[in-house]
Homo-oligomer: A and B are copies of this chain.
């Protein structure tokens, strides 16, 4: 459990960095970058918890989450060039991050007593809606709507986790397998440039 908590803080830290750097090519100032890092890091979990009436929100109830975000923003401010060059590393971190937060989101929703179908949606929301809100605020088309296997990988992993949990698979195995599934789908889709068809 302590290890998991450490990963949650690290994941939040990484999301804040990538959020702050996401608007680097734009006309935004440091404050805008910090705000974007903040929204990216908290958006998904916040939306999930508001939809599920699960208060206090994680970052409001646990100040360490806010500190992890501020540390991420600070890192982006101090080492923007260094961190921007680590694009491949970040892609990997982000992929691990969405896998991790998807599965934790499903678990939290299930623990609040909602049905598995709803929990799967909440898991996907946890992972991707921070980026969606960030993109909406900064007038970008959210990645979710672009032709890329991203949120759909999270949804597949979330459905898998909820199903396995229902079937009684031991929690830690389930967590690792479901995360790996999300990560594998995303990496394979990137490597072979796979995408879902359009609606027509």
Contact = CB atoms under 8 A, between A and B. Distances in A.
Contacts of A200: 24, 80
List the number of copies, as a whole number. Answer: 3
A80 B24 contact: no
B118 A63 contact: yes
Interface residues of A, number: 54
A103 to B, nearest CB: 19
Given A35-B151, A51-B57, A199 B145 contact: no
Contact of A63 (B115, B139, B145): B115
B66 A144 contact: no
Interface of A: 20-21, 23-24, 26-33, 35-36, 46, 50-53, 55-57, 59-60, 63, 66, 76-77, 80, 114-115, 117-118, 132, 136-142, 144-147, 151-152, 155, 195-200
